[in-house]
Structure 1
Amino acid sequence: MQIKNFMVNRSLKELTQHRTAELPIACYETVIKENIYGYIPLHWHEEIQFVLIIKGEAIFQINEDKIVVREGNGIFINSGCLHMVEEMKQSGCVYICLNVSPHFVLSQELYTTYVTPYIQATNLSYVFVDANDFWGKNILDAIIKIKQLIERKPQYFEIDITMQLTIIWKNLIFNGFHPEYVQAEMLKSQRMKQMLSWIQLNYTEKVMLEDIARAGGLSRSECCRYFKRILKKTPLSYVTDYRIQKSLILLQQVESNVTEVAYQVGFNSTSYFIEKFRKSMNMTPLAYKKYKMDDC
């Protein structure tokens, strides 16, 4: 089942419990445009994630990198990495998403040697999985098999899933990936999450660049460099985008009105809210509200 409006905590960590009733694993199809925001917003989770595009194409942003993944191919996103997904060229993108607790990948005896170095590696935020590569096809085929096992639940399906996970992990790490750990890179990631956390807690109030920088223990200029490098925008532009994102949920409430929503998400001017909303969503807040009401 697709998650259309997943919740995140103050550091943008996704709060969804990625598991079935039996296992710490979740596998579902995602239609990007059916998300409440029209895309998959910035977030992270402790689970590792494997994606297989089954229709269209998508742009994945993982930390500061952007990569296009087309139908038939996939991508691995490592634990703790900030990421978001947008549909490319209105392609009607649909993908299978497999989220797995790292502790479930291999047995405890093998975990320290064959899992820990990779999920902690600062040079391994993602891996493009090409169906034309033998190892890539093995991973993508295993994702499909796991999805089928979860749906059909044949006898001993839990054991079969663990076997498929072993195939996925072996093919991922046995193909020339050498994990590296750089403390400075880990610190950058932590600081970015601290600043995003502060914004999420305070976006309804007046937000100053100095406040965001202070949350990450950075100067104003360093703060701007972090946002430009990772999110390709200024800190205050991100705040505006985040406010627009939060307004989408409020506008879908029957009793809400545009002016109230504008102030609830931190804008001190209705006209400025409308201007920024139109630029982001290609329609006014009122038009969006009517569109969503008609869609109910």
Structure 2
Amino acid sequence: MQITDFSVDQNLKELTEHRTVVLPVACYVTTISENINGYIPLHWHDELQFIHVVKGTANFQINEEPVAIREGEGLFINSGCLHMAKDENSTGCVYICLNVSPNFVVSHELFTTFVSPYIQATNLQYLHLVPKDAWASNILESIRTIEQYIHQSQPFYEIEVSIELTSIWKNLVKNGIQLEFKERETLKNQRMKRMLNWIHQHYAEKILLEDIALAGQLSRSECCRYFKRYLNKSPLNYVTDYRIQKSQILLQQPQYSVTDVAYQVGFNSTSYFIEKFRKAMNMTPFEYKKYRN
């Protein structure tokens, strides 16, 4: 099953409950282009995420770091990291996505020693899993095995999943990365989340660059540098893109006209909304509304 759309709160934290009936684990086979936005928008969650690309190439961004994951490769995304994914070259990218609670990868007694430091490390936002590395190859194999266990749901599969998760974490730890803990990096991540949070609370209102910078306790120029590093766009361009994302949900409601939607998401002109929507979605809001209803 794939999540084609998911809810996030005003902090961009994903609200989807990542679990099976019994386990704090969820496994999806995801086709990027089938998401309602045509890509996986920026979000974060407490769960650890393990990805195995089975077709095409996925272009991820984790915090401010871009990374291309090709067919047969994978990716570990740490808890709390902002991330998004695109299939920019229309490769038909499909990947297995495994989300797991950090508290479940090892026993409670081992968590403080073998999990907590890795979650808190500022130099472990992600790991690129390349099959030529034995530890990474083992993780990729376990992701595939877990997907099969969950899909088939044979008796006692929950125990098998638990064993594979412990194996995944053992291989990740065996990679031997030297953990770093830099307060400045933690602060950068918190500031970016605060600015995004402010935008998501106020997107329907008039927004100035000064407002966004103030939310992050930054100057206007430093605010722009943050958005350039994390999202490769200006703060106000991000506001426009976010308004377009929110408009897609409202356009699927038959009671709202295109003009209604434009003003509800913060555009002060229907024609400007149509122009920006067409540029982002390669169709007008009217065409999108007809397509989705």
What TM-score do the two structures reach when normalised by structure 1?
Answer: 0.96
Residue 22 (1) aligns with residue 22 (2):
yes
What secondary structure is seen at the aligned counterpart in 1 of 2:211? helix
Q: Identify the residue that residue 231 of structure 1 maps to in structure 2.
A: 231
CA apart distance, 1:116? 0.8
Deviation at 1:176, TM superposition (A): 2.5
Q: Aligned equivalents of 1:264 and 1:207: distance in 2?
A: 14
Q: Is 1:265 matched with 2:265?
A: yes
User: What is the SS of the residue equivalent to 1:151?
Assistant: helix
> Where does residue 33 of structure 1 map in the other structure?
33
Q: Give the C-alpha shift of residue 162 in structure 1.
A: 1.4
Quick one: which amino acid aligns to residue 86 of structure 1? K
What secondary structure does 2:99 align onto? Answer: strand
Q: Does 1:214 align with 2:214?
A: yes
Paired residue secondary structure (1:59): strand
1:148 shift after superposition: 1.3
2:201 maps to 201
Counterpart of 1:283 in structure 2: which amino acid?
M
Aligned to 1:53: 53
| AA partner of residue 266 (structure 1) | G
Distance in structure 1 (CA, Å) of the matches to 2:33 and 2:289: 17
| 1:179 correspondence with 2:164 | no
Counterparts of 2:93 and 2:182 in 1: how far apart (Å)? 35
Q: How far off is 1:154 after superposition?
A: 2.4
**DSSP 3-state at the match of 2:37:** coil
CA distance in 2, matches of 1:158, 1:283: 45
Instruction: Give runs of aligned pairs for residues 1-296 of structure 1, distance below 5 A.
Output: 1-293=1-293
Moved over 4 A (4+): none
Q: Which whole-Å deviations, capped at 9, do the CAs of 1:69-127 have from their partners, x for residues lacking one?
A: 11111100000000001113111111110000001011111111111111111111111
How far apart in 1 are the matches of 2:92 and 2:261? 30
Q: Structure 1 residue 7: deviation in Å?
A: 0.4
CA RMSD of aligned residues (A): 1.1
State the TM-score, normalized to the length of structure 2. Answer: 0.97
Query: Given residue 64 of structure 1, which amino acid in structure 2 is its aligned partner?
Result: E
Instruction: Please report how far the alpha carbon of residue 225 of structure 1 lies from its aligned counterpart in structure 2 after TM superposition.
Output: 1.5
Q: What is the distance in 2 between the residues matched to 1:96 and 1:121?
A: 25
Percent of aligned positions with the same letter in both sequences?
63
| In 2: Cα distance, 1:201 partner to 1:105 partner | 34
**Cα displacement (A) at 1:25:** 0.5
Equivalent position SS for 1:222 = helix
| Partner Cα separation in structure 1 for residue 88 and residue 108 of structure 2 | 40
1:225, 1:163 → 2: CA distance?
A: 44
Partner AA of 2:206 in structure 1: K
SS in 2 for 1:51: strand
1: CA distance, partners of 2:61 / 2:86: 9
Q: Equivalent residue of 1:217, what SS?
A: coil
Note the residue ranges of structure 1 that are not aligned, 5 or more in a row: none
Instruction: Give the number of aligned pairs.
Output: 293
